[in-house]
Amino acid sequence: MLKTETITINMGPQHPSTHGVFRMVLTLNGETIVDLKPMFGYLHRGLEKTSESRTYLQAVPFTDRLDYICSMSNNFAYAVAVEKLAGIEVPLRAEYIRVIMAELTRLVNHMLAVGFLFNDLGAWYTPVVYAFRERERILDLFEMASGSRMMCNYIRPGGVAADLPAEFLPQLRKMIPHLENFVREIRFYLSDNEIFKARAVGVGFLPADMAVAYSITGPVLRASGVKYDVRKAEPYSIYDQFEFDVPTQVAGDVYARYLQRLDEMDESLKILRQAVERIPDGEYATKVPSRLRPPKGEAYARIEAPKGELGFYLVSDGSPNPYRWRNRPPSLINLSALREMCLGHKVADVVTILGSIDITLADVDR
């Protein structure tokens, strides 16, 4: 008698497509996925607990290590939260510097996301090396400003750690047209690739209502057609002073997420152009005591990080150490719809779908 049964396989923890240590327990019917269970925690470092025994400023370097590709955005979100909690005013020049850094980080993240998506699809290291080449130029700028390429620790509560060096803005001005050209180049070479389209169009479909119910944020949400961006919905910093659009896609599949990232890079460059023109002179930081004691209270602040909504929930009991230090990671919560996106697809599509969500495992496990 003919009999079929499902088999269970482990994808990961060491699997090249997960970009870290992440395990998915797949239940397969032949090649088709009937169930998927993600397993987390291989990289759990207990940053929330550790931060409770540090001062508010000492916790800034920890935020670098949440999502190590976008360390500037993480600093930014944490600084916004501490400022909301302690009621600190930030000078205008510092806000401009922050916006410049945040948008550069978005460019870095999206070009790597696109590059690694192609890596996962088997375009082994060619697109990603071009992405790395451009990323390297931006990291040079980060190093110029903060002294470090990846663990920048630059945006602090009250402002930024140091003023921009004199060469920074001319260099950035020169680079913006170059980066615009780079985005055009990606579109030209990759968007119409037949193999890519065969693997990406219609794969990993996520409808808009489901995306909202599953708390999906960032490019994945907007690729499903929901026009929601924290920069517009609840403007923080000085984002209400810039002109930019919130691009959305209709399809909600892997291909739409790829296009969405390219569109967002264009918008980031638009913001950068305005910021470089308008950045004023002045102070780069408000003096904040190193043992900052915010008044008793709590605050939740969030920003639009490259991967989605990055929030911090801080509770202060009036002492120099936070009573509760909670980070709302975009990567972990964007994974909550992974199972629904993968059901009915083949094993090879899991790799593509995971790549299109764009997670950093350090941000998932914290």
Residues binding another protein (CB under 8 A): 40-41, 44, 46, 48-50, 52-53, 84-85, 212-217, 226, 228, 232-234, 296-300, 302, 309, 311, 313, 315, 323-324, 326, 328, 332-333, 335-337, 365-366
- Whether residue 13 has a cis bond before it, omega within 30° of 0: yes
Query: From CA 203, how far away is CA 30, in angstroms rounded?
Result: 18
Q: Which is nearer to another protein, 246 or 348 (CB)?
A: 246
Query: From CA 276, how far away is CA 267, in angstroms rounded?
Result: 14
Query: From CA 353, how far away is CA 359, in angstroms rounded?
Result: 11
Q: Which is nearer to another protein, 84 or 98 (CB)?
A: 84
Instruction: Determine contact, residues 115/131, Cβ cutoff 8 Å.
Output: yes
In the complex, minimum distance from the CB of residue 336 to another protein, in angstroms, rounded to a whole number: 5
In the complex, minimum distance from the CB of residue 329 to another protein, in angstroms, rounded to a whole number: 10
Query: From CA 58, how far away is CA 288, in angstroms rounded?
Result: 13
DSSP string over 130-147: HHHHHHHHHHHHHHHHHS
In the complex, minimum distance from the CB of residue 106 to another protein, in angstroms, rounded to a whole number: 20
Q: Which is nearer to another protein, 197 or 324 (CB)?
A: 324
In the complex, minimum distance from the CB of residue 195 to another protein, in angstroms, rounded to a whole number: 33
Q: Which is nearer to another protein, 44 or 174 (CB)?
A: 44
Q: Which is nearer to another protein, 165 or 318 (CB)?
A: 318
In the complex, minimum distance from the CB of residue 182 to another protein, in angstroms, rounded to a whole number: 32
71's tokens? 């360390």
Neighbouring residues of 287: CB distance < 8 A, sequence distance ≥ 6: 158
